[in-house]
Amino acid sequence: MSDHEHEHSEHDHEHTHSHAHAHAHSHEKTPLSLKEQLETLLTHWVGHNEAHKGTYLTWSERAREGGYAEAAELIAEIAEMTDSVTEKLKKTMEKVRTAP
């Protein structure tokens, strides 16, 4: 390796600049704060929950068409219950976003 190339555990790259810097720098990523972690998770959970609702509705209809009316009704109820979970997740997200 030349004096401008070096390896890092996460990636290899070539430097086109001198290593003499007047400031410190790091190739490490700054860890997310708890608030950022919660916002990321809650956003993911809302989307995930909404995707499940769509799946529940699809399978409720398939069950109904296949002659499983009672199962179809229960799956449809699960889809409706998902709405309340999604709303709670959204309220939680808002509490996290507006917290100091």
The whole-number pLDDT of residue 4 equals 45
The model's pLDDT over 14-61, given as tens digits with 9 standing for 90+, comes to: 444 444 545 555 567 889 999 999 999 999 999 999 999 999 999 999
Residue spans of the domains in the chain: they are 31-98
The whole-number pLDDT of residue 88 equals 97
Return all residues near 59 (Cβ < 8 A) that are at least 6 apart. Answer: 75
Mean pLDDT to the nearest integer, 7-20: 46
Q: Where are the alpha helices (DSSP H) in 1-100?
A: 34-65, 69-98
Average pLDDT, the chain: 83
CB 79 within 8 A of CB 53: yes
What is the reported pTM? 0.64
